[in-house]
Amino acid sequence: MLNVGIDIGGTKIAGGVVADDGRILEHLRVPTPADTGALARAVADMVAELAGRHDVHAVGVAAAGYIDAARSVMLHSPNIAWHDEPLRAEFEALIGRPVTLENDANAAGWGEFRFGAGRESTDMVMVTLGTGVGGAVVNNGQLLIGANGSAAELGHVRFLRGGRPCGCGQNGCLEQYASGRALQRELADVAEDPEIGTAVAAHRNKKGNVPSRELALLLADEDPGALEAVRRVATALGEACGAFQAVLDPDLFVIGGGVAELGEALLEPARRAYDTALPGFGQRPTARFVTASLGNDAGLVGVADLAGMRSR
């Protein structure tokens, strides 16, 4: 059985035909139109093109934002002008077949659970470290949605009372301390330290950021400034995961997003911080930490699989 998965991002729409085993048989990508009407038509055109070459059973669409519990209405999206938008009905009218709608972080987490780094897990938490912090929770093999459809917004758990202002309107959210943006903030801070920041300062670009490739080289050379900046972000991640463990008790944390490409340079200090933050450490089972394996295709694969399951 083949399903189509569509992952709507702020700059691009990715679509693909996905087999039951998670393999992508065909992949398409187009820029995301600024106009919401043009965006919906672009999704419909992508589905029509893929369905014209494959025997498609179901269609799933993933997008960032708060979706109601019925997975029908996009209540709010941070990147696209959707507010109380009956998105599923709009897509179904244009596509001409049933559509499964899901939050993009949930879709990515489900993709990793079914076919990626979490495929041998029963209870998994995925934390996605990109520009912000996304999350997904799988409990006893089921995706956690919540009473109002907005569960697993892990990036907006308050990490520090009275902390840095967040785009969500609160202060001290985890994504202000454990995201790609937070990492660049820590690198900028380290660059001002004459004892450990000289190499970091030398690798900053005109925008004041350290490109990921340059950061990887600094870490490979065990540069103390780069290691310190990553340690700060990893510590925030690990401490938060200790709290998530107390509430959700997963057997696995899957860390995804661009920051996760740092691999063990991120995970090793995150595990140490998790150990110190975990209630009852040493007297209870702990979770493993791994990096995600599906990359940017996780959301596409996950929402296609959810569409297939929900259409049976």
Q: Which of 145, 136, 226, 219 is nearest to 189 (CA)?
A: 226
Q: Measured at the alpha carbon of residue 147, what is the angle toward residues 112 and 36, in degrees to the nearest 5? A: 70
Its pTM surpasses 0.85: yes
Residue 75 pLDDT level (bands cut at 50, 70, 90)? very high
Residue 300 lies in a domain: yes
Distance CA 96, CA 107 (A): 22
Residue 304 sits in a domain whose CATH number is 3.30.420.40
Tens digit of pLDDT for each residue in 142-166? 999 999 999 999 999 999 999 999 9
Residue 52 has pLDDT above 90, yes or no: yes
CB 184 within 8 Å of CB 214: no
Residue 120 has pLDDT above 90, yes or no: yes
Kindly state the tokens that stand for 82.
């959707």
Residue 280 has pLDDT above 90, yes or no: no
Between residues 86 and 167, the one the model is more confident about: 86
Residues 67 and 190 in one domain: no
Residue 117 pLDDT level (bands cut at 50, 70, 90)? very high
Residue 287 pLDDT level (bands cut at 50, 70, 90)? very high
Distance CA 8, CA 270 (A): 30
Residue 149 lies in a domain: yes
Q: With the C-alpha atoms ordered 247, 252, 257, 263, is the resulting torsion angle positive or negative?
A: positive
Tens digit of pLDDT for each residue in 7-27? 999 899 999 999 999 999 999
Q: With the C-alpha atoms ordered 11, 16, 19, 25, is the resulting torsion angle positive or negative?
A: negative
Distance CA 270, CA 250 (A): 16
Residues 31 and 141 in one domain: no
Pairing of strands 99-103, 56-63: parallel
Q: Which residue(s) pair with 102 in the sheet?
A: 62
Domain span at residue 24 reads 2-111+296-310
Q: Which residue shows structure tokens 């965006």?
A: 39
Tens digit of pLDDT for each residue in 153-209? 999 999 999 999 998 899 999 999 999 999 999 999 999 999 999 999 999 999 999
Helix (H) or strand (E) holding 94: helix 87-95
Residues 259 and 177 in one domain: yes
Residue 33 has pLDDT above 90, yes or no: yes
Residue 155 lies in a domain: yes
Average pLDDT, the chain: 96
Residue 281 has pLDDT above 90, yes or no: no
Residue 122 pLDDT level (bands cut at 50, 70, 90)? very high
Residue 78 has pLDDT above 90, yes or no: no
For the beta carbon of residue 243, count every other beta carbon within 10 angstroms: 17
Residues 185 and 209 in one domain: yes
Residues 142 and 286 in one domain: yes
Residue 282 has pLDDT above 90, yes or no: no
Q: Which residue(s) pair with 120 in the sheet?
A: none
Q: 303: Cβ–Cβ under 8 A, 6 or more apart, which residues?
A: 5, 6, 7, 60, 61, 62, 100, 102, 107, 110, 111
Residue 305 lies in a domain: yes
Q: Measured at the alpha carbon of residue 297, what is the angle toward residues 294 and 302, in degrees to the nearest 5? A: 90
Residues 240 and 135 in one domain: yes
Tens digit of pLDDT for each residue in 246-277? 999 999 999 999 999 999 999 999 999 999 99
Residue 116 lies in a domain: no
Number of domains in the chain: 2
The DSSP 8-state label assigned to residue 254 in this structure reads: E
Characterize 57-71 residue by residue with b for buried, 16 or more Cβ atoms within 10 angstroms of its Cβ, and e for exposed.
bbbbbbbbbbbbeeb
Distance CA 158, CA 175 (A): 9
Residues 100 and 130 in one domain: no
Residues 137 and 96 in one domain: no
Distance CA 65, CA 212 (A): 27
